[in-house]
Structure formats: structure tokens, C-alpha cells
Amino acid sequence: MYFLSGWPKRLLCPLGSLAEAPCHVQSDPQRTFFAVLAPARLSIWYSRPSVLIVTYKEPAKSSSQFGSYKEAEWRPDSTMIAVSTANGYILFFHITSTRGDKYLYEPVYPKGSPQMKGTPHFKEEQCAPALNLEMKKILDLQSPIMSLQSVLEDLLVATSDGLLHLIHWEGMTNGRKAINLCTVPFSVDLQSSRVGSFLGFADVHIRDMEYCATLDGFAVVFNDGKVGFITPVSSRFTAEQLHGVWPQDVVDGTCVAVNNKYRLMAFGCASGSVQVYTIDNTTGAMLLSHKLELTAKQYPDIWNKTGAVKLVRWSPDNSVVIVTWEYGGLSLWSVFGAQLICTLGGDFAYRSDGTKKDPLKINSMSWGAEGYHLWVISGFGSQNTEIESDPNSIGKQPGILLFQFIKSVLTVNPCMSNQEQVLLQGEDRLYLNCGEASQTQNPRSSSAHSEHKPSQEKNSFADGGLESQGLSTLLGHRHWHVVQISSTYLESNWPIRFSAIDKLGQNIAVVGKFGFAHYSLLTKKWKLFGNITQEQSMIVTGGLAWWKDFIVLACYNINDRQEELRVYLRTSNLDNAFAHVTKAQAETLLLSVFRDMVIVFRADCSICLYSIERKSDGPNTTAGIQVLQEVSMSRYIPHPFLVVSVTLTSVSTENGITLKMPQQARDAESIMLNLAGQLIMMQRDRSGPQIREKDSNQRKLLPFCPPVVLAQSVENVWTTCRANKQKRHLLEALWLSCGGAGMKVWLPLFPRDHRKPHSFLSQRIMLPFHINIYPLAVLFEDALVLGAVNDTLLYDSLYTRNSAREQLEMLFPFCVVERTSQIYLHHILRQLLVRNLGEQALLLAQSCSTLPYFPHVLELMLHEVLEEEATSREPIPDPLLPTVAKFITEFPLFLQTVVHCARKTEYALWNYLFAAVGNPKDLFEECLMAQDLDTAASYLIILQNMEVPAVSRQHATLLFNTALEQGKWDLCRHMIRFLKAIGSGESETPPSTPTAQEPSSSGGFEFFRNRSISLSQSAENVPASKFSLQKTLSMPSGPSGKRWSKDSDCAENMYIDMMLWRHARRLLEEVRLKDLGCFAAQLGFELISWLCKERTRAARVDNFVIALKRLHRDFLWPLPIIPASSISSPFKNGKFRTVGEQLLKSQSADPFLNLEIDAGISNVQRSRSWLNNIGPAHHEIDTASSHGPQMQDAFLSPLSNKGDECSIGSATDLTESSSMVDGDWTVVDENFSTLSLTQSELEHISMELASKGPHKSQVQLRYLLHIFLEAGCLDWCIVIGLILRESSVINQILVIIQSSEVNGEMLQNIKTGLHAVDRWASTDCPGYKPFLNIIKPQLQKLNEITEEQVQPEAFQPITVGKTPEQSSPRVEESRGSSGHGSIPQSEVGGSSMVSRKEEDTAGAEEEESFQDGTYDCSVS
């Protein structure tokens, strides 16, 4: 709870020679002045600013008589200093302030600034006072002085001849005899029956001692290493009245420090550890509380090489202790032994290049005010020679260093423990973990926090699904929200003593020397007292707390000399006129708020409960406070200073089930009191008759039962008054932080389904658990502990190693405080399972199963138990792993929890794990049954390591087939690689990644799948990088030679190919063309070559009608319908010629003209350019293309002779072309303005639009058409032509049939198939009839071909001429009017495309086919 901050500061010491280097520092009781000793001088330093005020220098003559200065001790009122010297003298110095108001340092303000006028005590606060030092008295004790200790009004001195001298501060012994230690009886405890033995050695003397006020005695360390505690039996301090106790087992003590608040004595030992003892209340014996020692695990190279403990110092608030060793180094521990900082490891001990640094040696240290600073006299004693030789080596010279600390608010204001925020206070700033909370409620402030968060560290945790739980504001990023404390307030009220934050984390209040100030995170403004005299006349004594919008505090009113309880409203001006003041009987030491009650603990050991309520009288809103109940605790509390915290809680030993009135379950049920680390609970006494008063508002408060001790060594307590039926376990629990012993939770146990609880079962259980961070707040519902941790940054690379000046930046890393959090749920579940409380564990886990990190919790629990049990040396009588495994099976995450745990554990432990959770083969099969393929794949890796290759191949094949079936393409790619690795015997090593395959027709579908194409996108927008990326990534799988690197195993490739072929065959047989396309694109399956082989087998269409229906369904393509208005077609009169021409002109500049835009280009022309575009051009088509001119002539046929239905085709054309890309839309608009469309025409167009499927489907169908054309699967081409209802496609296929060698069987199949479609259309789907009528001439032609079975070559020249004449009426009708002008343009577009095509590589060819698709998509 204390954290180092920044670099230490070095104070400028006026050094003459080495003999004048400082060797000892001691602060005065108020920690305002520091006495710094050098061998022959005494200096007084001021704390803020840290400046030297006065130095007394001993003349050489007397210096040789006295010897060098050793130790200093202040008188309690800071008016005198006693200094012991080497030759047995004590020198008494008086400190007097110089006359007049003379100051050494004064702040200088600009003229007219408000600080100049009217601040009382202005001079004392802001300036370092001028002091005089004079030696008043010299006392000679005639033997070396070992220890000085100020005790009340006396000075206790231990000398090396075994005597204890009690000296008055005026320098007299008061005639009291020195006490000889040999006459003090020592025993193991103070029970009267045993008479203590005496030390009995002539040469025993005290080496170090410290007085403990709350135990009323001295902790002492003797010169032989024994330690003890000497206490006066009665109030008189004489040898007969002293009695000592000692522990038997400490024989190497070196130094001691006592903690008055917790009644602890910390003895440093020669072994390097610190043993902390406390006194047993009943017997008076010394009991070992805990040890502070470095572990070999954390510090393997240093833990037993630190040397003896040199110094131990408790912080001013008694919450941490700092320890330093003989060989250097600092470590900081919490009061009960949690290690916070150690400078013997990490960046403190090593430079950035890995070399070891010398640890900092410390000769003396003393805490500054409120623990914000540690004054350290550094000593590099072993390097004297070096220092003399190199006067510039500042770093190695002894000097005064100031280490700066930030501390948790809990150390001084424990009422903060009912909050969920972490608040740290530094000397002049506050650190909050809830800086973002204000953003969520106030949009204006969103930019205000930006200076504390680097932009790349945006809160990844908060943006996810945690927003709803309010976690984001408390976890957030790693950075703090830093609030600078108002400098105006600090100037006259330094140091900050208390601070508090409200429930929402939006307002902070701080308390300095006088008065208080508060700050709003929303407005970013401080509010201070308007009247400075009011501020300076109140001293806050017992901390402060927020209640709704009010600040509740206990203070001492200097003017009226009265203890008061005050409540200030945040929104009104800070003035006593707006405060509600209640007088109090005694000084308030602690204050805390629970719901609408305030609990205070007073110096007379009484606890008082107040009710607090909001009152609105007229314009002013105030809070009213009334006394509810007073409880005297003086019987139980030996000293009021020992009470660390007091809180009201709703925790009770009853769970609320057995209470007579359930709503009382969350009332203020009990008082929790932390008495020097013992947690004491006093419950309301419900045993008597509970008589309700007539007036239910004035319910009489029940008395409290006698106190019960719940736990020992408690540092902090957290509890909440919120209620949540779902998470009762967590919200009704009590959380304790116990220092080195970790945390404890006092958990309620609930019977299941409201059954009556067993009388013999306890209703609560105390569970201990360890976490890796120091807890500063508990998030109850979220099962998280929040904390902070010191992190270090090295800057030594900025300085050269051999520079003469060893900078502090070289010696020390820069310290920062990081936010941190930890899950604790798995510890609690495990503790419950150990105690056979599985039912409770299940209830608790189910209540938390919605947390985002719940799977991680289960995994952590399994992992920790596995590691412990599988690696233990001796057999475990009652292993926990089977219980944990059984527990995890209760959750759906069981399979993935086990496999994740296994994969993060070493292979040696797998057998132990799977012996408990089940055979991995069975678990693999369960995954397959549950369709959880990713988890199954993880199990496969385990099977591969645990089973023979045959087994893993068998399971891999199963998984591969399932993945193919479900279209999990990524997994399929991994599986191919995996099978490959097993086959080539690389089962131990990760399989090598195959080389990229030759580009094939792969990515078309991939492209459609990954991009949603909007109308306004054209193909040029698609970055080329996307294609190349997908080509290299997609997992190859086609003919073996191309696919794998040469050393691969042919048989294995064959095996994989067989599976891929089998899958493709299944897809074709089931007419799943869409799946086939995805499959080919995703796995790089070379569809065309496979289709060529399967042309007459799997790739033939057995039933055209079924295929057609299936395609309609798979591609979401609507079946065509006949519109009512089609009887009188509006399209006969050639109204739309201009549109066609215009569109054509607007498009002609575009190189993509030759794509499927039905905007007035001849069908054959189009089909030719289309075929040239895709893939290797056929010879026949090349010859055809040479006859371009004849084709154009054939266009000029009359428009009259066809039936009404033919208009449907042209309507399609129009709608297709008119939904043009954005740029050309205006063109169409201009033309449409000249056309008067009738109702029926509009209806017709809308009908056509309705009969089209989605853009994506259209692109995919055209892509498949291209694939089947290349593979020569003409029957499939016919089916796709039918569904697209494009006669051009049918024409094109007929051209191919006539101009190339085609299998007669296939022709026959196409013929019968088309007849079947015709019959089906007549009966079930009349919408297809118009189109079938359009292509009737082609069908007749097909009949002729199949009947005659003539050689296509003979017909070739005639076909070229004939085809246009026989081409569909639809073409003549819609495009005949486009005129000659447009044709050459189209020709230019097409030919340029072709030539470019031929030059391009295969890779580009693949790219084009994607772009075809995109363009189509954007146009139609």
C-alpha cells in the first residue's frame, strides 16, 4: 500500500571533507525538522522545503574529548536534542528561534496576488524558520552509549556496562540510580507462578531498544543476540519493578523497531530475516506473529547473501515497515508481512546491459511527514579509497537521499474500504482508477482525461462486453487518473493527511493540516473555504467520508475548543454557514458511513451511531444528524489508539434465512472493529423478544452482543451493503486482507432450494487464499481484486558507463505505479471443494458463470491443482483433481477447459490429467457430437502426442470430413497440413507450411464471401494486395505435383486428394453448387481439372428439373412469374432505343465494357469477348472472332414477327442496365425525362426486378458458369443459363457444341433434360415458358445436331453466319435499334481487353475473373 515514485532526490549537503559526511538522521516527533549528524557537527534540516537551517560545528579540541557524534534523540516538544558521542558523553542542545519574524526562506509572490494578504500563520506555514542551536549541558556516563530513547518526559540511555540510565531532559539524573540489567528477572511469560531467571552474565548490555507506548515497555536486543521485552510491573520505574520476557528461539538479533498501533516488535536478525513478535494478552509471553524474509524463489541469487538486518523502521501511520541490510538494499513490507518493494532484484539490481549494480548501502534512515518521504543517509563505506582518489564521484559519497512514496488511502482513512475504487494519495496529487467514470455520464468531459492515456492504449477491456457490468470504469487501462491537489490549499496545509472519494468516483475530498478541500472530476475544479479563518480554525481528527452529496467529517474547533461532527453539502459554497454541526463529547478517532448511518469511534473507547438524512429547509439543503445508539467498548479495548478501523456491516452469522424478518438481513447487523489486527465482530442481539413499537418509524435499535474474534493479522476489511439475489455468496461475504498470509473471505453458506439448513452446519466459513497482488479494493459482483504494483523503467542508457559523475538516474530506475487486478474465484471454489462443500461451490460458480473470464477461472483451478498434485514428491492420500474434474463437467465449457489446460501444461503431466478427466479419444468424439470442431482439433494435437499415428490419422480424417461438411474452411486447411505432417513422419515437429500453389480459379468465392459489394463500388476499388494475400494463404489442394514441396510424401497427398474428390463428388451429386464453389475457392481445389475428368460421371446432370429447383433454393433466386400486363407488351414500338444508345456511349470509355452488360452488344459478340476473357481461348472461337463484320450485318433484322412474351427478356436488359453505377445515373435520368412510362410499363419493370436474385448470387452463378464452360460440362452450363434466363448463354453453348467435338451422350442428356424442363414449366412453373419459347429455335437446332450427329467442323463457316439470324428475338427486339455507331466502340473495348489479357500472366488472369464478378455485381 506504499509505492515508490520517481527517482530519489539528493539534497545538497555543504560537504567540506569526508569527515563531515552525514552519518545519522533523526526526525522530530512532528516530522517537521530533521537532525543530521556528522562525526563533528549537528545540522537541523526543514522538511518542506527540504533545506538546511542551522549547523553546530564542534571545535577540534572538544571533539577529540567527546569523540564523534553517534546518535540523536529529540525531546517530545522539539525544543531540545540529546546527542550521544563515542566516548560516553551526552550533549544537550537547545533549539531557539531567533528574535523577530526572521525567516531563512520566504515565498515571493507577484504584486497583488491573493496570497499576500490576510492569511493567518502565513509566515510559519510557508517559510523555513531561522533557528539557533546552542549546547546547554554535557553529561558524562563514562562508558560507550549503545542506545538513546525518549520516554515521555525522560531520556532512557543504555550503556555498554549493562546499565540503564533514566535521565531528565534538563540533564539531571534526578538522583535515580541506574538500573543494572543483571538484576532484572527474565522469564518466558509473566505468569506469577514462575520466577524469572536473571541474565546472570557480567558482560550483558543492551545493543538496541525502543519504547512501545501501547504495550508500556521496551523491546530490547542484547549484545549476545537475544531479544526481549522489559515492562515495569507497576508505574514506578526501578529495578525491582521491572520484569522481562523473552522468546527462546532468537539468538541472532541485531536491531528492533516497535509498531504502537498494532503492538508489534520487529527484531532484525543476523540471518537477514526480520522476526515480528507480539505480546500474548493473557500470559504476557512473546508470540511470533510472522517473519519478513526474502524467498529463494523470488530472489534466487541474493536471498541468503544480504548480510544481517541493519535497520528496521515503521512508517508514521504504522502500516508499513522498511528494512535494510548490511550489504545494502531496501525492502518494504506491509504490517503483516506482504512484500511491497525490494531493491535487490530487477532493475534496481541490474543495469540495462545485464551487469550487476552495487546495492545502495544505507547508514541511517527516517520517515518524513505522513510517510511521503524517506530520508536516507547513503553510505558507500567500502569504497573510501576510491572516493578520496576521485573527488567528483558524487554518487559514491555519503549524502542525504529523499525517496518519495505514494500510499493507499486505506492506510489513513479506512472508511474507504466500503468503496470499489482504488485511491492513492501522494504528497501533492491523487491517483484514481476511476477517471473514466465521469466520461460515461458526462459527454463533455470525454477529452479531459486524454492527457493520462496514450492513444494506443485505448481501453481494449472496456470496449467489449463488460460495459454493462460497470467493469470498464474500474478496470480500464493501466494508467491512473491523476488529480493535482490545489496548490493554494497545499501551501498553508501541507501535508495531506486524509482523502476520500464518493461512491460514484466523481468527487474527492482531501484534508491537510487545517480544514479541507474538495474536487469534482466532472467540472475539474477545486472548491476551497471562502473564509480562510474558518479553514484554519478546524482540524479534522477522525477522517472523512462521503454520504451522497455530503461530506461528513469529525473535527476539532480551535476557536470554541470543541469536538464536532460536521456535514457539508458539496454543491453549496464551502462555508460553515452551510454546514450542519453536531457537538461531540470526546475526540473522534475514526469515522465511517454505512447506508444512512454514520459510525464514529471516540478517544474514550465508545462507539456512537448516528442517523443522517437530507433536509431541505427553504433554499438551503442540509443534512440532519441524530444520535441513534452509543456502545461503550472500554472493557474490550486496552488503548483507543489500537483501533485500526471500525465499520458497520450487514454481515451476521445468521444468513437471513433464519431471521424472523428477512428484510432485516441487509440492515446494519454488526460492527466490525479491527483492534491491532484482530477483527472483532459485535452482532445485534436478536435473542430477546422483538417487540415492534406502535409507530414503525421509531423502531428501537437492538443492543449488541459481546464481541467475537473473527480473524487475526487483519490489515483491511471490505464489505458491501448492496444486495443481489443472483450473487448472494459474493455480496454477503466479508473480505479480509491479511498481509503475508494472503486474503480471507468469510463466505455465507446457503442451503439449496431454501431447504431448512442443518443445525450442525455452520452458516459461514472462513476460507484463506493467496493472490499475487496487494489488494486495495474488491469488486464484489465481478469476483475481482483491484490493486497497484510498482514498476520500474531504466534510463541508464542515457549516460555513459564510465562518466565521472554517477548520476542518481544511473543508480536507480524510475519508479511508476501500475494498476493491476486479479481473479480470485478459482481459489474460493477450490477451497470449498477441499472442504467437501461441492454444492456450495456449484451454486457460487453458477452465479458467476456469466462473467467474461469464467472459462479462465475453471481453467486456472484445474491447472493449479494439476501442477501441484502431478509434481508432488510423495503420494497424495486424498487427491483433489478427480473432484475438480467432476466439478467442471457440470459446465458446458468442460471440453474446452480440459483441452486448454492440457495444452498449457507440459506433456509429462498429461497422463495424470486424463486419468482424472477421461480418455482424450472419448473427449474428442464428444466434441464431434457436440459439433465443437475447434475444440476437437485441439484434442487432435493431444491424441497425436499420446497415440500411435494410425489413431491420430483416423481421428483427423473424421474431423476433416466433418469440417468439410460444415464448411469450416480454416480448419480444413489446418487439417490438410496436419494429415500431411502425420504422413511424412513429422509427427513430433510442427508441419512445414506448403509452398504457394500456382494460381488457379480459387479466390472467386472467397472474394464474394469476404466482401460485401455495394452498388457504388467498382472493381477498381478492390486492392490488389487482397488478392495476392489470399493466394498465398489459401491452402493448396489439387494435383500433387503443383501443390506440395518436392520432398512430400506422394501417398499422403493422394490420400488427401481422394478425400477432397469424394467430397466434391458428393456436393455435385446432391446438386450443392454453392457449397462446391465455396469449397473450391477456400481450399484452392482445382475444380476445372477435376470436372474435366468427371465430365461424364459425377459432373453430369441427371435430373435438370431437380437441379434447377435446387439452384433456385441455394442461390435465393426467385422462380419467374408471368405478369398480368404482359399480354399487351409496351416494348414493341422501340421507345427505348435512345436509352440503349446513350448507355452504350456512356460506357464505351470503360475497359470493362465487354462484361455482361446487356446494353446493346450482339450476343455472339458478347459471348466471344466473355470467353476470351476467361481462361485459355478456344480455337473455334478465335476463328469465329475473325468474322466480326458479318455478325454486325446480321443485326439489322426487322422487329415485327415475334410474340408478345418476348418483351420479358428486353425488360430484364433495361432494368439491368439502368441500375448503373452512380456516375452514370444522371445520363439515364436525362433520357427518362423524355419518356413517358405508363403504369403497365413500370409494373413490368418492377416485375422483372422482383424475378432477379441477390447481386452476390448472380456473380457466383456467372463464375460457376465460367468454370463449367472451361471444364466442358455443358449440361451444367445449360442449367445455369436457364436460371439466369439468358439466351446468350444458351447460344454460346450451342456454338461450342456445333464447333467442337462433343460427346454424343452429353448431347442426348442435354436434350432430354431440356425437354423435361419444358414439361415441368408447362405444368408447375409457367414463368419459365416465355424464356423457353425464346430459345425454342436453338432447341430445334440441338435436335438436328443430335439426330444427324454430323461433324461440327463442316458447319463451322455457315454457323458463324447463321447464328445471328437464328439468335433470339429478344436480341433483335431490344438491340436492333442501337445502330451501327455503337458497334465499333464495343469492338475497341473488347479487343483492347483481349490483347491485354494475352499479355497477362496466369495470376492476373485469376484477378480478372474476380473483377468480372465485381463489376457485374456493381452494375446489376
Under 8 Å between Cβ of 812 and 348: yes
Q: Which helix (H) or strand (E) holds 91?
A: strand 89-97
Q: Which of 945, 827, 838 is nearest to 889 (CA)?
A: 838
Grid cell in block for residue 473: 470504469
How many whole angstroms separate alpha carbon 858 and alpha carbon 314?
41
The three-point CA angle 1101-1106-1112 to 5° equals 105
Pair type for strands 242-245 and 185-187: parallel
Question: Is-contact 1106 1346, C-beta < 8 A?
Answer: no
396-432 tens-digit pLDDT: 567 899 999 999 999 998 887 667 889 999 999 999 9
Q: How far apart are CA 1249 and CA 525, in angstroms?
A: 63
Task: Let me know: does 1068 contact 1080? Beta carbons within 8 Å.
Answer: no
| Residue the block writes with cell 547513503 | 378
What's the pLDDT tens digit per position in 987-1032? Answer: 444 433 333 333 333 333 443 333 333 333 333 343 333 333 333 3
**Residue 1154 burial (10 A CB sphere; 0-12, 13-18, 19+):** buried
Task: Determine the 3-state secondary structure of 740 from DSSP.
Answer: helix
> Confidence class of residue 1047 from pLDDT cuts 50, 70 and 90?
very low
| CA 273/CA 1388 separation, integer angstroms | 93
Question: CA 1217, CA 1214: separation in Å to the nearest integer?
Answer: 5
pLDDT digits (tens, 9 = 90+) for 849-888: 999 999 999 999 999 999 999 999 898 889 999 999 999 9
Highest mean pLDDT range out of 9-23, 114-128, 151-165, 318-332?
318-332
Strands 197-198 and 185-187: antiparallel
Residue 802: predicted pLDDT? 55
What amino acid occupies position 794?
A: L
Tell me: pLDDT of 216 over 50: yes
Amino acid at 101: D
Q: What is the 3-state secondary structure (H, E, C) of 1369-1404?
A: HHHHHHHHHHCCCHHHHHHHHHHHHHHHHHHCCHHH
- Looking at the DSSP bridge assignments, the partners of residue 554 are 565
Q: What is the pLDDT at residue 393?
A: 46
Residue 1354 pLDDT: 39
- Side-chain half-sphere exposure of 1233, counting CA atoms within 13 A: 5
- Residue bearing cell 446457503: 750
pLDDT at 1256 > cutoff 70: yes
3-state percent helix, strand, coil for the chain, nearest multiple of 5:
40, 25, 35
In this structure, what are the phi and psi dihedrals at residue 368, rounded to the nearest 5 degrees?
Answer: -90, -175
Mean of pLDDT values over 448-468: 34
Q: Contact at 8 Å (CB) between 328 and 359?
A: yes
Q: How far is CA 1279 from CA 700, 747, 1081, 1098, 1209, in A?
A: 89, 71, 21, 16, 17
pLDDT of residue 881: 95
pLDDT digits (tens, 9 = 90+) for 822-840: 999 999 999 999 999 999 9
| Reported confidence tier of residue 353, pLDDT bands at 50, 70, 90 | confident
pLDDT at 1124: 56
Sheet with 131-140: list strands edge to edge: 69-74, 80-85, 89-97, 131-140
Closest CA to 115 of 528, 437, 524: 528
Q: Which helix (H) or strand (E) holds 279?
A: strand 274-279
Q: How many CA atoms lie within 13 A of 1095 on its CB side?
A: 20
In the numeric block, which cell numbers belong to residue 415? 472508511
The whole-angstrom separation of Cα 1414 and Cα 1198 is: 35
Q: CA-to-CA distance for 623 and 566, rounded, in angstroms?
A: 10
pLDDT score, position 1039: 40
Q: How many residues does the chain have?
A: 1420
Helix axes 1274-1284, 1304-1323, angle to 10 degrees: 30
Residue 1287 pLDDT more than 80? yes
DSSP 942-955: HHHHHS-HHHHHHH
User: Which residue in this structure is represented by grid cell 557524534?
Assistant: 69
Under the banding of pLDDT at 50, 70 and 90, the label for residue 588 is: very high
Alpha-carbon gap, residue 26 to 84, rounded angstroms: 13
Residue pLDDT, tens place only, 695-708:
444 457 788 899 99
CA proximity to 765, closest of 736, 796, 739, 733: 733
Residue 378 φ/ψ region, left for φ over 0, alpha for ψ in the -120 to 50 degree band, beta for the rest: beta
DSSP, collapsed to helix, strand or coil, labels residue 807 as coil
| Listed residue (171, 143, 175) closest to 159, CA to CA | 143
pLDDT grade for 1351, boundaries at 50, 70 and 90: very low
What are the CA-CA distances from residue 213 to residues 152, 537, 645, 1209 (Å)? Answer: 9, 30, 19, 105
For 477-499, how does the pLDDT look when each residue is reduced to its tens digit (9 = 90+)? 678 999 999 999 998 898 999 99
Rounded Cα–Cα distance for residues 255 and 649 (Å)? 41
Give just the sign of the alpha carbon dihedral 1107, 1109, 1114, 1117: positive
Check pLDDT > 80 for residue 368: yes
Express as a percent the part of the chain with pLDDT over 90: 41
pLDDT higher than threshold 50 for residue 79: yes
Distance CA 329, CA 306 (A): 8
Assess contact for 1099 and 1276: CB atoms under 8 A: yes
Comparing C-alpha atoms, which of 36, 139, 45, 40 is closest to residue 92? 139
